[in-house]
Amino acid sequence: MKTIIISGILLLLGSITSVEAQKYFTREAQVSFFSDTPMEEIEAHNGTSTCVVDFEDQRMEFAVLIKAFQFEKALMQEHFNENYMESHKFPKATFKGKIINPTELSAKKGKQDVEVQGTLTIHGVDQEVTAPGTIEFTKENVMVSSVFTVAVSDYDIDIPGVVRDNIAKEVEITVDATLEPLK
Amino acid sequence: MFVLLSLSFFYRGSVVGQDDLLSLLGEEEETVDYAFASFKANRVINLHSVENTSAGVLDIKISHRFGMINSGFYELFGLDAASIRIGGDYGITDNLTVGVGRSSFQKTYDGFLKYRLLRQSSGAKVMPVTLAILSSLAVETTRWPNPARENYFSSRLFYTHQLIIGRKFSEALSLQLSPTLVHRNLVETEQEAHDVFSLGAAGRIKLTKRMALNAEYIYVFPDQLAPGFRNSLSIGLDIETGGHVFQLHFSNSTSMIEKGFITETTGDWGGGGVHFGFNVSRVFTIRRPDIKE
């Protein structure tokens, strides 16, 4: 009986520590996007995004503050917030999903190709997306990166005729994050 | 023991089953949320708005006032005549703008400095208003009407000092007040004041994402101007298209610089003494900001 209780307690403790050690996070994930048309190249960077990954069940979440995107052209940044993304109404873009491939990540393998699936919310619109990426376990950290495209029209973002040739229909999004263990 | 075992699983399960991973990080640090785009341009119509030109941005402005509408069909209701100001504003920093311009009306050159002292914000830092200070200098260069007498260059100088206090009340509504002092080195008669005090009020209502209705009125305190001069009233529509802002308006002022539209407005709205006009603003990014990667 005693041994069972002890083993029970050990199991309890063990489960807690193993779960905790498998969560990683950052508040400084780099998210940038790039729109390329013959008329104009537009890019913006945001280095203050939040990301949490739980390797226990391979869940992954991102939160990206829209106002924190920085553009080369100040007016573009203003229009991005005021007219397109309406950041006063929809301050954040989020992603909530899961690493679906591989189903069991190995912490030892180095850089691994992964596939992530989940709900991407931009401009208040939810879309199911699947994106490729890589995950690399280093001694202390986990590096996460991904490049994928989103269609502007999927997110109810209204682009008027006069600038239709300046803004790409599909925008390339790059994510780069170095996560540290969440204690 | 089953209780314990199941408890341990339950505990484990409850952690895994937590709905929101992001909430594990706790409350986020609050950021300072600055109000932006209170007005589409850094001018309401004639008056400076609370907006500054962003750092590294050159804003080229071409402003036009046609003749007065009551000039009749012969003048095609003013369209035959035109007064123009060509100017450029440059953002040295996000808070400091410098600008120059040249008006065909009275062949006047002008230059200004505009500094934003306070910026409306919410969040980690709360500031209810934006406050800016504007100082401008204007030089008239028309030929001396009476070359025989002794004329001084200083007689052609005009100074304006203005505070601009504005607030973006909502996405749709922004209002501002502009207490102003115009100093004129030379006036025509003894009854006219060298220092003219006035109070401007302006606002905008955003109609759609790319269109806004603007209005401004400048009240000149009594007994400072010669009879016949009126307060300036202008009403306009801003249309924004990418890098351009088109401002179309009606105004009873001919001049587009402070000393002119505040102290030399003669048009009478009641009698159709109103100009149709427009400002076109086009921005160019001269110096690219450092983007934190």
Q: Worst-scoring range by mean pLDDT, A158-167, B79-88, B166-175, B278-287?
A: A158-167
Six token digits for residue A113 = 């190709």
Instruction: Say how many CB pairs under 8 Å bridge A and B.
Output: 105
List the Cα angle A165/B88/B46 in 5-degree steps.
95
**DSSP letter, residue B35:** -
Residue B21 has pLDDT above 90, yes or no: no
Q: Choose among A63, A79, A162: nearest Cβ to B22.
A: A63
- B225 three-state secondary structure: coil
The percentage of residues in chain B with a pLDDT greater than 90, rounded to a whole number, is: 72
Instruction: Write down the pTM of the prediction.
Output: 0.83
Q: Check B22 against A50: CB less than 8 A apart.
A: yes
The pLDDT score that the predictor gives to residue B78 is 87
Distances (CA, A) of B31 to A84, A118, B50: 22, 28, 22
- Count of beta carbons in the 10 Å neighbourhood of residue B273: 17
Residue A72 has pLDDT above 50, yes or no: yes
Q: Which residue of A has its CA nearest to B20?
A: A61
CA distance to partner chain A, nearest, from residue B224 (Å): 40
Write out pLDDT tens, residues B191-237.
899 999 999 999 999 999 889 999 999 999 999 999 999 999 999 99
Distances (CA, A) of B52 to B41, B115, B132, B199: 8, 8, 9, 20
Contact A146, A117 (CB under 8 A): no
Phi-psi region of A137 (alpha: psi -120 to 50; beta: other; left: phi over 0): beta
CATH of region B40-285, choose from 1.10.10.10, 1.10.357.10, 2.40.160.40, 3.30.70.3270: 2.40.160.40
Average pLDDT, chain A: 87
- Mutate: best of A30, A75, A175, A183, partner B, most B CBs <10 A: A75
Confirm whether the ipTM is greater than 0.85.
no
Residues in chain A within 8 Å Cβ distance of B54 = 74-75
Q: Check A5 against B54: CB less than 8 A apart.
A: no
CA-based radius of gyration for chain A:
20
Write out pLDDT tens, residues A16-27.
444 345 899 999
Domain range annotation of chain B: 40-285
Residues in chain A within 8 Å Cβ distance of B39 = none
The pLDDT score that the predictor gives to residue A160 is 84
Residue B11 has pLDDT above 70, yes or no: no
Contact A149, A127 (CB under 8 A): no
Six token digits for residue B143 = 């030929």
Which residues, numbered 69 to 108 in chain A, qualify as contacts with chain B under a Cβ-Cβ cut-off of 8 Å?
Answer: 70-75, 78-79, 81-83, 88, 94, 96
The pLDDT score that the predictor gives to residue A7 is 59
- B287 three-state secondary structure: coil
Distances (CA, A) of B176 to A17, A151, B54, B259: 58, 40, 20, 19
Contact B260, B253 (CB under 8 A): yes
CATH class of the domain whose range is A23-181: mainly beta
Residue B200 CA to residue B275 CA, distance in Å, equals: 19
Write out pLDDT tens, residues B117-163.
999 999 899 999 999 999 999 999 998 888 888 888 999 999 999 99
Contact A22, A182 (CB under 8 A): no
Confidence of residue A103 (pLDDT cuts 50, 70, 90): confident
Residue A29 has pLDDT above 90, yes or no: yes
The pLDDT score that the predictor gives to residue A1 is 60
Contact A60, A26 (CB under 8 A): no
Residue B164 CA to residue B131 CA, distance in Å, equals: 6
Q: Check A19 against B293: CB less than 8 A apart.
A: no
Confidence of residue B56 (pLDDT cuts 50, 70, 90): very high
List, as one string, the DSSP characters of A4-62.
HHHHHHHHHHHHHHHHHHTEEEEEEEEEEEEEE-SS-EEEEEEEEEEEEEETTTTEEEE
